[in-house]
Each structure stands twice: as C-alpha cells, then as structure tokens.
Amino acid sequence: MSSESFETQRAALADVVAIPVTPFAEDGSVDQDVHRALLRRLLDGGIRTLTPNGNTGEFYALTPQERRLVTEITIDEVGDRGVILVGVGHDVPTAVASARHARELGAAMVMVHQPVHPYVSQGGWVDYHRAIAEAVPELGVVPYIRNAQLSGHRLAELADFCPNVIGVKYAVPDAAKFAAFARDAGLDRFVWVAGLAEPYAPSYFSAGATGFTSGLVNVTPAVSLNMIEALRSGDYPAAMKVWEQIRRFEELRAANGSANNVTVVKEALASLGLCRREVRPPSKPLPESERAEVAAIAAGWSI
C-alpha cells in the first residue's frame, strides 16, 4: 500500500536532489524575483527534485515567516515541473506546523532536519520523527541524518510506525558507516540519498544510494546531472571525472568546518550575475582576495 502510493516520491529521491539557495535583496530580505529566476534556471537545466528550506537555503538563518515564504515561492514556481520536499525542523509543534503548511500547498514530501537539540537519545530520535510523520501521513518523509551514532534499526522502528518514512538523507562522511546503517534499516525499504552531495556520491552509490543532494547544482545543473548519469549507468570512472572537475570548488566549501559552504555557492552565482553574494550570519561573504578563484571555476563550467 504505502510503497505504491509513494512511487512518485521514491522516484524523485533517486535523483539529483537540489537544495536551492535563498537569495537576499539589498535590504536583506528574501529576493523573491531572483529566487524564482534561480528556480526556473534549475528546472530549465533538467532538475526535477527540489528542497526549499535546506541548509544550502540557510534554513537556520531564516525567520519563521521567511521559511513559509520560501516554501510558498518554491511550490508556486515549480508547479508540476518537479517534486518538492520541504525542509522542516526545530521543536515538534513548529516542525508539524511547517509540514502541514507544506501539505496544504501541495508539496509531496518533507525533509526533517536533524534535531538541533543537544541531548538526543536513540528512542527520542524515533519519537521526534514519529510525531512529525504521523501529522502528515499523506506526505513522504525523509529524515536528514548527520548523527553517526544513530543505529539503522531505529529507522526501521520509525518506519514500522510510519510507512510514509520512505527515504533518508544520510550525511555522515563515512561510506562504510552508511553501508552498515542502510543494511540495518533495510536497504530496499528506503530510498537512500547521499546527503553530502557530489564529493561522497560515488562512494555512497557504491554502497546502495540512488540519489544525492546538491548545492553545487545551483551553479551548474549540467555537472550534477553528468555525475548522476554516470553513476546510474555504473560508470564510476566517468563519475570520478566529474568528481575531479568539482574537487577544488567543493574543497573550498568544506574548508574550516564548512564555514563557507553556502558562501562559495553564492559567490559563484554572483560571479555569473545571477544573484547577490550576501549570506547571513553566522556565515559571511568571501573576502575579496578569494573571489577570483571561485569566479574562474564557475566561468570554466559555464563555457
């Protein structure tokens, strides 16, 4: 029953899962027109799965009102050109309200940010996600897992309660841990999305992932699509050619504890004239001396 009714959602997760940036206007507010233009660029570039309110969208720097706005803009702009999973999080009542809002607007899925609460017990992790998933049984639910200690058995337990938990965004930088987690949870029961984007996608695919998230896709949808095409056909050398092509860019994003993860993406977009470079605290725009390198990489991709 559940696996049938969530077929569209499962297919959408086995793909490049784009995490759009949230562009800001000069007055600091969300720039709605630019946001829509960037979303159209993703869709025109062949992207079909999008996550408003993901980390690349600076989820934790948005006010509750802005999170609603970003959900609304994205669902409206994408229409039937793609499948949307809306990022939700914070305390349970806030996450449930966001999930219901997403449902009202017609989203197909929600992605549940890992709890920011510092004291997470394994059983409490199940309770947290269960409370959200049970509130929106018609939506696919995708937990975002960054906790290397969580056991895959807990995910299976959650899905026993909530058959709408259909996929996982797993984001621990260790493909062996991912392989074990997926097998403990049930490899075929869930769609496995490599949550650390292109740098880890080949190693995750080698262990059973069929989709990956991407922030880089904001800059160049074609490069992300090249990688997933290679991975789908089992052509790892071709996938690693793409890996080599994006290595420096992703290293700049990952440096210093990912300090400039979104910063570098927006810098590349700014160099292409597509949006302003501004990110919100506790992120910060790149210093001028480091901008040229990012621009050169982006220019190389857009040829």
Separation CA 195–CA 142 (nearest Å): 11
Residue of the chain from 273, 281, 289, 303 that contacts a second copy (CB under 8 A): 281
Residue of the chain from 53, 98, 261, 271 that contacts a second copy (CB under 8 A): 261
**Helices H, strands E: what count in the chain?**
13, 8
* 22 Cβ neighbours under 8 A, 6+ residues apart: 30, 35, 57, 58, 62, 66, 70
134 binds a second copy (CB under 8 A): no
Q: How many CB atoms lie within 10 A of CB 240?
A: 14
61 binds a second copy (CB under 8 A): yes
C-beta of 55 vs 164, nearer to a second copy? 55
Q: Is 210 annotated as a binding residue?
A: no
Distance (Å) of CA 75 to CA 218, 294, 297: 17, 30, 31
Residues in contact with a second copy, shown as a per-residue x/- string from 218 to 257 under the rule CB under 8 A: --------------------------------------xx
Stretch touching a second copy by CB under 8 A, among 57-65, 70-78, 80-88, 219-227: 57-65
The two structure tokens encoding residue 45: 């570039």
Distance (Å) of CA 69 to CA 2, 59, 98, 144: 30, 12, 11, 22
Residue of the chain from 121, 244, 288, 289 that contacts a second copy (CB under 8 A): 121
Residues in contact with a second copy, shown as a per-residue x/- string from 144 to 183 under the rule CB under 8 A: ---x-x----------------------------------
Separation CA 294–CA 183 (nearest Å): 39
The question of whether 169 is a catalytic residue gets the answer: yes
C-beta of 43 vs 92, nearer to a second copy? 92
* 152 Cβ neighbours under 8 A, 6+ residues apart: 180, 181, 182, 183, 184, 185, 186
User: Which residues fall in the annotated binding site for pyruvate?
Assistant: 56
Task: Give the catalytic positions in this structure.
Answer: 144, 169
Site residues (vs a second copy, CB under 8 A): 55, 58, 60-64, 90-94, 115-125, 127-128, 131, 147, 149, 256-263, 279-284
